[in-house]
Amino acid sequence: METSFDIELVNQNEYLVRWASEGQSGESLVHTNPDFLAEVGLDGFDEQRVVEETTSYLAEHQPVIDFPQTVDLEEIAAAYTDYAEQLKARLEAQ
């Protein structure tokens, strides 16, 4: 399954993620909260990279057609307890 993402900063701490997968496409607005990023140890990383890795992480855990229209990182962390740890490992590996 080939999935592509196009990520664009649209406002401070807000990124539009356009995705295409298996002939379908859609978009989600991802909110990054600097306080949350600091709380989980991700504040030293570029926000756009955090969003890129977050979308990849989500795509590994659910079909992209099920991505919500609005994504808050705190909600992902609440749904997936290993999210922050996995994201930090991914970002440090690059």
Q: Per-residue pLDDT tens for 37-63? A: 999 999 999 999 999 999 999 999 999
Reported pTM: 0.92
1 confidence band (pLDDT: 50, 70, 90): low
Amino acid 22: pLDDT: 82
Amino acid 88: pLDDT: 96
> Could you tell me if 73 and 35 are in contact, meaning their C-beta atoms sit under 8 angstroms apart?
no
- For residue 33, the enclosing domain spans 3-92
Q: How many domains does the chain have?
A: 1
φ and ψ of 69, to 5 deg: -65, -30
Q: Is 10 helix (H, G, I), strand (E, B) or coil?
A: strand
| Cα–Cα dist 50/2, whole Å | 21
Choose among 76, 84, 90: nearest CA to 42: 84
23 confidence band (pLDDT: 50, 70, 90): confident
Tokens of 34: 């600097």
DSSP 23-45: TEEEEEEEE--HHHHHHTT-TTS
Query: Does residue 3 surpass a pLDDT of 90?
Result: no
Judging by DSSP bridges, how do beta strands 3-11 and 14-21 pair with one another? antiparallel
